[in-house]
Amino acid sequence: MKKTGNLKKVTALICVAVMGATMVGCNPGDDGPTKVVDQTKAQLYVSNFNAGAGSEWLEKAIARFEVDYADKEFIPGTKGVQVWVTPHRQGLTELGPKMATAKEEVYFLEYVPYYEGISKGYFLDITDMVTQDLTQYGETVSIEDKLYDSQVNYFKTPEGKYYGIPHTQSPTLITYDADLFDKKGYYFGADGNLGKKSTDSGLSKGPDGKSGTYDDGLPATYAQFYQLCEKMKKQNIAPLIWSGTYPWYTTRFARSVKADFEGEEHMLAYTFNGTATHLVDSIDAQGNVTYKAPTTITEENGYQVFSSAGYYYTYEFFEGIYKNGYYSNKAFNESTTHTGAQELFLVSSFTSAQDIAMLVEGTYWVNESLGTFDEMAVNIDEDAALEKRNLKVMPLPKARDNLVGTPTTYVDCLNELAFISAYVKEEKKELAKTFLQYCETQKSLEEFLQTTKLTRCYDVDYSNIYDTLCPYSQSIVDSLKGANYLMPNSSSEVFLNNYTDFFETYEFGTKAQANPMWGIKNGSTALELFETMKNKYNQNSWNVLLGK
């Protein structure tokens, strides 16, 4: 009996010790064991989606904020402020219902259906904070002034209120190995032939149609892109790689291709409000598209936007890549994860494996791969470090010659949002707004870019820090300069009531296939995929979505 009693005590002690061990160093946030709560300071809690951009940028901003506001009395009886971060990987669907009782007040999230969040009453009205000039930080503009025009349309509700502001900028594009391009002469000359290096004179004008810009020598059209890939293939270099485990990486890329072709009109597929000028009347055997007369799109006839030529040109671009074999043999392998594809791309230049020239990824991928860069620099070659790699974002080639020089349009792929919880205590509103505003100052935006290698989603000038950036970040800044940026979401009733259905459509999904690249691989032609998309809805099936 005694033995049993002792055994129980020992077991209980072990359990307590194990539980205690897991709690050692715990703080209000996950900021590590060095920071402890100081009750004489105001406490602010921040929720951060800890994926592509990570949390380091936030910790840096917090460190500066705590110093800059060390003497500020945000809450009566306190002096200074402490900010705690909760890193996680949850979206609004998971966090929203818990917000009323959560301690977090400021949120930086991915996958946020903005207008859905507003309708649920999750977000605080931050209009004053967004429209106020940032003079106290030595700036003459407001956060609103830093937004792209399309973002103002998106974030500002019809009532003229802001409930959230952008977070990171994350289009899915092509990253190319500029060192390999130079070594192999993969730049186009003005005569349209390959063989140039980036430092040579007489480069072609690139997709923007202008000489002396960042895209000189890069493929301007699909035809030139294929020409480039063909040369790579003949030299036993795999032109492209993407994640085979997660096909949606190429779906997001498809969205980028379509948006770049359609420009602002791409948003019609979300707002169902405006004039469509790219609706297809017919496509001949050579792929020449005849357009319908400009058509007014409303929610009533919204299904017509799915016959936009943007879909066809995207399918056509993918068809050219697949049918000509311009991809790595790991690209469709379901064990090639996104980080696996990044690693294959990065190590290919330093091992006996087949070289891979380009990677299809979100622009945040470099930050995800920082560990791989470091490991490669230590274990393979010190020239493999990020600072020594010449990796760049490639501007999207245009579908046809006559489109060269048309403005570049990028589209967001992660629906990211920064906002303040509607449940924040009255006494903490000023603190929460001040911190969120602080994160959007020029200094903070620049620090974010330097830390994460990618940009926050604001139309600002980075010339002050341009020379301090790695080539990859420089190319992001270059490619975004003068480009339009779209947020794929809207307050349209038919959109909000059928979000999943449109989510599928937006991701190029139909009953026949969920992903354009895999659709092509499975034997469909670009024209067949386009016809499927075009016919996904008719007036009858659209009426079901309208609730009729």
Q: What residues line the site for another protein (CB under 8 A)?
A: 93, 113, 116, 118-121, 157, 159, 244-248, 251, 332-335, 493, 496-501, 503, 507, 509-515, 518, 522, 540-541, 544, 547
Answer whether 398's CB lies under 8 Å from 404's CB.
yes
Answer whether 275's CB lies under 8 Å from 297's CB.
yes
Run of H or E residues at 511 = none
Nearest CB to another protein, comparing residues 334 and 401: 334
Nearest CB to another protein, comparing residues 320 and 340: 340
Nearest CB to another protein, comparing residues 192 and 325: 325
Answer whether 387's CB lies under 8 Å from 400's CB.
no
Q: What CA–CA distance (Å, rounded) separates 535 from 277? A: 19
Cα-based distances in Å from 359 to 111, 178, 318, 365, 449:
23, 12, 14, 10, 21
CB of 524 to another protein, least distance (A): 11
Tokens of 141: 């503009």
Nearest CB to another protein, comparing residues 68 and 125: 125
**Rg of the chain's alpha carbons, rounded to an integer?**
25
DSSP state of 47: E
Q: What CA–CA distance (Å, rounded) separates 34 from 28? A: 12
CB of 231 to another protein, least distance (A): 25
CB of 511 to another protein, least distance (A): 5
Q: What CA–CA distance (Å, rounded) separates 502 from 505? A: 5
Nearest CB to another protein, comparing residues 113 and 397: 113
Nearest CB to another protein, comparing residues 307 and 524: 524
CB of 518 to another protein, least distance (A): 7
Answer whether 164's CB lies under 8 Å from 155's CB.
yes
Nearest CB to another protein, comparing residues 243 and 256: 243
Nearest CB to another protein, comparing residues 169 and 532: 532
Using the Cα atoms of residue 285, residue 287, residue 290 and residue 295 in order, give the sign of their dihedral: positive
CB of 248 to another protein, least distance (A): 5
Nearest CB to another protein, comparing residues 96 and 207: 96
Question: Cβ neighbours of residue 422 under 8 Å, at least 6 residues apart?
Answer: 99, 121, 122, 123, 124
Return the amino acid letter for 390.
N
CB of 507 to another protein, least distance (A): 7
| Phi and psi torsions of 350, nearest 5° | -115, 5
CB of 118 to another protein, least distance (A): 5
Exposure letters 47-69 (e unless 16+ CB within 10 A, then b): bbbbbbbbbebbbebbeebbeeb
The residue to which tokens 């990171």 are assigned: 168
Q: Which of 329, 319, 310 is nearest to 269 (CA)?
A: 310
CB of 493 to another protein, least distance (A): 7
CB of 124 to another protein, least distance (A): 13
Phi-psi region of 68 (alpha: psi -120 to 50; beta: other; left: phi over 0): alpha
Run of H or E residues at 107 = strand 106-109
Nearest CB to another protein, comparing residues 463 and 540: 540
Nearest CB to another protein, comparing residues 134 and 420: 420
Answer whether 134's CB lies under 8 Å from 165's CB.
no
Run of H or E residues at 463 = none
CB of 32 to another protein, least distance (A): 29
DSSP state of 532: H
Nearest CB to another protein, comparing residues 32 and 547: 547
CB of 400 to another protein, least distance (A): 30
CB of 510 to another protein, least distance (A): 8
Nearest CB to another protein, comparing residues 85 and 494: 494
Exposure letters 329-346 (e unless 16+ CB within 10 A, then b): ebbbeeebebbbbbbbbb
CB of 116 to another protein, least distance (A): 5
